[in-house]
Amino acid sequence: MTIIEVQNEIVEEFSMLSEWMDRYSLLIELGNELEGFHEEHRTDQNLIEGCQSRVWLYAREEGGKIYFEADSDAIIVKGIVALLIRVMNGRTPSELLESELFFIDKISLKEHLSPTRSNGLVAMVKQMKMFALAYKTKMENQ
Q: What is the CA radius of gyration of the chain?
A: 15
Minimum Å distance from CB 113 to other proteins?
13
Nearer of residues 53 and 89 to other proteins, judged by Cβ = 53
CA–chain centroid gap for 113, Å, is 11
Minimum Å distance from CB 73 to other proteins?
6
Minimum Å distance from CB 117 to other proteins?
9
Nearer of residues 114 and 137 to other proteins, judged by Cβ = 114
What single-letter DSSP state applies at residue 36? -
51 labelled catalytic: yes
Q: What angle do CA 64, 55, 42 make, to 5 degrees?
A: 75
Q: What angle do CA 107, 110, 115 make, to 5 degrees?
A: 160
Task: List interacting residues with other proteins (CB under 8 A).
Answer: 20-21, 24-25, 28, 51-54, 73-77, 112, 119
Q: Which residues are catalytic?
A: 51
